[in-house]
Amino acid sequence: MNSRAVMQWLGYAGVLPFVGFALGTGVAQDYLQALSQQGFVIYSLAILCFLAGTLWGSASTDADAASILRVLVSNGIVLFAALSVLTAQALLAATLLMLGYLALLWFERNSSENARWYVVLRTRLTIAVVLVHLCFLVAMVVRNAA
């Protein structure tokens, strides 16, 4: 198995915890519902920070202005993600994290020399993650309204 196949497999598998936590938030009760809600936000934070770290890694080989920008954006995304979770409000944190995924994808698509297959993969995964974030947000609103 080559690295491309592993990246694709891990990328799609990485969406599953989002789905599980979102489902738990929508259908579980009491402790499991709270655990799912907290798990969703923490997992989202971890994955967004991981993705931002890939910018840092891809910029480490050059010292040009584009590489410096990649490092700064990487750090900015991580700080934004951490601050969003520090709001201690799952609804707000999940919304901000979702915006972080979209911002990261926008930056990568507009400034990257990544292979076409990687851009397609990142776009598909980001769309899936954003859709699951929307489901999570709907579940949170419905649960809070009940």
CA dihedral sign of residues 49, 106, 95, 7: negative
Residue 96 confidence (pLDDT) above 90: yes
User: According to the model, what pLDDT value does residue 56 have?
Assistant: 83
> What is the pTM for the complete model shown?
0.94
CB distance 71 to 56 below 8 Å: yes
For 74-98, b/e burial (b = at least 16 CB within 10 A) is bebbbebbeebbeeeebeebbbbbb
More confident residue, 57 or 136: 136
User: According to the model, what pLDDT value does residue 115 have?
Assistant: 84
**111 half-sphere exposure, CB direction, 13 A CA radius:** 18
Tell me the per-residue pLDDT of 36-84, one tens digit each, with 9 for 90 and over.
Answer: 999 999 999 999 999 999 888 777 666 678 788 889 999 999 999 999 9
